[in-house]
């Protein structure tokens, strides 16, 4: 399965509670923090809700 490197590039300030919780579920707490996850349908769905706040790279 593919791995994804997800990096937060925009702040979660003034975002909806759903978007803030999605970032927490991904493990992102700070700006420019990166995490790696498997490309499961669940992770891809979470990334889709915050696609304007993160960048995604395939590893």
4-57 pLDDT, tens digit each: 999 999 999 999 999 999 999 999 999 999 999 999 999 999 999 999 999 999
> 34, 36, 41, 52: which is closest to 4 by C-alpha?
36
Mean pLDDT of the chain: 97
- What is the edge-to-edge ordering of all strands in the sheet holding 3-8? 34-38, 3-8, 54-58
Could you say which DSSP state residue 53 is in? T
Q: Choose the CATH number for 3-58 among 3.40.109.10, 3.40.50.2000, 3.30.1390.20, 3.30.420.40.
A: 3.30.1390.20
Residue 18 backbone zone (phi > 0: left; psi -120 to 50: alpha; other: beta): alpha
User: What's residue 40's pLDDT?
Assistant: 96
Distances (CA, A) of 25 to 16, 42: 14, 11
Q: What is the pTM of this model?
A: 0.92
User: What's residue 1's pLDDT?
Assistant: 83
User: What's residue 37's pLDDT?
Assistant: 97
Instruction: Indicate the domain borders of the chain.
Output: 3-58
């Amino acid at each position: 399965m593919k791995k994804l490197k997800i990096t937060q590039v925009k702040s979660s300030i003034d975002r909806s509670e759903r978007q803030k919780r999605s970032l927490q579920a991904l493990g992102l707490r700070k700006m420019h923090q990166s995490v790696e996850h498997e490309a499961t349908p669940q992770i891809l769905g979470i990334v889709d809700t915050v696609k304007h706040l993160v960048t995604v790279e395939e590893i």
